[in-house]
Structure 1
Amino acid sequence: MHPMLRRLDDLAAHLATRPDTVALLGLGSAGVDPDRLDDHSDLDFFLVVSDGAVARYVDSIDWLAAPCPVAYSFANERNGRKARYADGIFVEYAVFTVAELARLPFTGARVVWQRPDAPAGLAGSGASPRPATPYDTVEFHLNEALTNLYVGLHRELRGERLTAARFIQSYALDRVLALLRLSEPSAAHRRDPFDPSRRVEQAYPPEVLPLAAMVPGYRHNREAARATLDWLAARFPLDPAIAGPIRALLAT
């Protein structure tokens, strides 16, 4: 058994002794796809507790330290913490009641442990991670990418290189990933519904998604914009009313 899965099992054994705990759910690579676990994985989980017990389990880490001493920990949100065990296992977790869990968007959860009287279907009780939107279209993502490039190049010319890098090498790239998701659905290799950048290298070879050219770094915004514009132009018809000004900025 992978050490992280063993850690979850040991944690569950301790939680089962506490009367105000309901369930422990593994998420991410500790969820329904444990074969993704490797030496670089962290351990994500939800702890489900009785009403009124959330703050106690967020504020205190005595339960977390039951299987192994905790070397580092901090509260990163109202319901959760990040921590590192003394043996190197890094964890990120959140604590919810059953009612709170039902309102959360999550997917791929696995029940590690639950009380016999726990509500059925806890692992699949979350809301949809990707609510339907009328703007999840090729037209929308294409024009968002183009306008990201346009704004980013203007900021580059103004000398605002950091925000330019975000528009050109991050925001526009997010739209490129969305376009790939819509135009090449067969390449959906364990796509993360919350973070489209996860595992894209496994889904798309460099000839399909030239990331090295699209994300060359802080000093190369113009090169990145040119690579992304060329990629878009090779796959989609571009409105000359916006593509023309972008090319003019690249020639400035």
Structure 2
Amino acid sequence: MPPTLRRLDELATFLAGRDDTIAVLGLGSAGAQRARLDDHSDLDFFVIVEDGARLRYVERLDWLEAPCPVLFSFAHERNGRKALYEDGVFVEYAVFTAAELPRIPFCAAKVVWRRADAPPGLAQSEAPLPRTPYDTVDFHLNEALTNLYVGLHRELRGEHLSASRFIQSHAVDRVISLLRLASGEAPYRDPFDVTRRAERAYPATVLPLAEMVPGYAHNVAAARATFAWLSHRYPVHPGIGAAIRALLTRSGDYS
């Protein structure tokens, strides 16, 4: 058994002996998507507790350290923490009551342990998963183009870091969304992060990430590559297309 799943089972076994715990849910590669678990996977899980017990499990680490000492941890949101065990297992977890859980958006969960009287349906969220308000070709295409436009202006102003976010991050996210619409849902798609497993889903001949994300000092080259990719595959509006070409020319990087 992989160390992450063994740690999850150890925690579940310990928590099953407490009166104020209701269930433990594994998420992601520790949940319903275990086929993608590998040596680089961290451990994501939820602990479901009785009303009034949440703060105790968020603020105290005694239960977390039951199977192994914790080397490092910090609160990354009000309901949970991230922690690194001494043996190298990295975990990210959140603690909810059974009443709170239906309002939390999550997917691919698996019940690792549940109390006999736990409510049904713990592994299914009733909250909608995050989605862009306009999940269409028109939206993703034009959002990518305007990301390039804004990013190139930031680059010309000397705001290279901000430019890299627009050109090499935001615009590329929209490119991946266009590919998803064109080719269907990728296996194990992460609704919270479009970049997850992009390399496995799309070969470099389809998604040339090395050209689109060459790094901080190469924003203009990145914008040129992404603009060429978009122009080759989609009808770019002549107005925004001309504006981007002009910015690339001003940057000395378009012919």
Out of 231, 241, 249, the position equivalent to 1:243 is 241
Secondary structure in structure 1 of the residue aligned to 2:149: helix
What residue identity is the alignment partner of 1:139? D
What residue identity is the alignment partner of 2:87? D
Match of 2:124 in 1: 124
Is contact 2:145–2:227 with CA below 8 Å preserved after alignment?
A: yes
Secondary structure in structure 2 of the residue aligned to 1:76: strand
Match of 2:253 in 1: none
Match of 2:195 in 1: 197
What residue identity is the alignment partner of 2:104? L
Match of 1:77 in 2: 77
Match of 2:24 in 1: 24
What residue identity is the alignment partner of 1:221? N
Match of 2:66 in 1: 66
CA deviation after TM superposition for structure 1 residue 131, in Å: 4.8
Q: C-alpha offsets along residues 195-239 of structure 1, whole Å, 9 cap, x if unaligned?
A: 110000000000100000000000100000000000001110000
What residue identity is the alignment partner of 1:39? D
CA deviation after TM superposition for structure 1 residue 73, in Å: 1.0
Match of 2:8 in 1: 8
The answer to whether structure 1 residue 212 and structure 2 residue 207 are counterparts is no
Is contact 1:107–1:126 with CA below 8 Å preserved after alignment?
A: no
What residue identity is the alignment partner of 1:211? L
Is contact 2:57–2:95 with CA below 8 Å preserved after alignment?
A: yes
Q: C-alpha offsets along residues 125-181 of structure 1, whole Å, 9 cap, x if unaligned?
A: 342313583x11111111111111011101111111110111100111111111111
What residue identity is the alignment partner of 2:80? G
Match of 1:222 in 2: 220
Number of equivalenced pairs: 250
Match of 2:87 in 1: 87
State the distance in 2 between where 1:140 and 1:36 align: 31
Is contact 1:47–1:95 with CA below 8 Å preserved after alignment?
A: yes
Secondary structure in structure 2 of the residue aligned to 1:208: coil
Match of 1:157 in 2: 156
CA deviation after TM superposition for structure 1 residue 35, in Å: 2.3
State the distance in 1 between where 2:101 and 2:53 align: 14
What residue identity is the alignment partner of 2:18? R
Is contact 1:148–1:171 with CA below 8 Å preserved after alignment?
A: yes
What residue identity is the alignment partner of 1:79? N
State the distance in 1 between where 2:4 and 2:131 align: 31
Query: Percent identity over the alignment?
Result: 67
What is the root-mean-square deviation in Å for CA atoms of aligned residues?
1.1
CA deviation after TM superposition for structure 1 residue 188, in Å: 1.3
Which stretches in structure 2 are left out of the alignment for 5+ residues?
Answer: 251-255
Is contact 2:33–2:188 with CA below 8 Å preserved after alignment?
A: no
State the distance in 1 between where 2:176 and 2:224 align: 17
What residue identity is the alignment partner of 1:239? H
Match of 2:137 in 1: 138
* Length-normalised TM-score, structure 2: 0.96
| Range 34-43 or range 23-32, more displaced | 34-43
State the distance in 2 between where 1:57 and 1:164 align: 41
Is contact 1:22–1:48 with CA below 8 Å preserved after alignment?
A: yes
The answer to whether structure 1 residue 40 and structure 2 residue 23 are counterparts is no
What residue identity is the alignment partner of 1:156? E
Secondary structure in structure 2 of the residue aligned to 1:106: coil
State the distance in 2 between where 1:89 and 1:150 align: 42
What residue identity is the alignment partner of 1:51? D
Match of 2:147 in 1: 148
| Moved segments of 4+, more than 6 Å | none
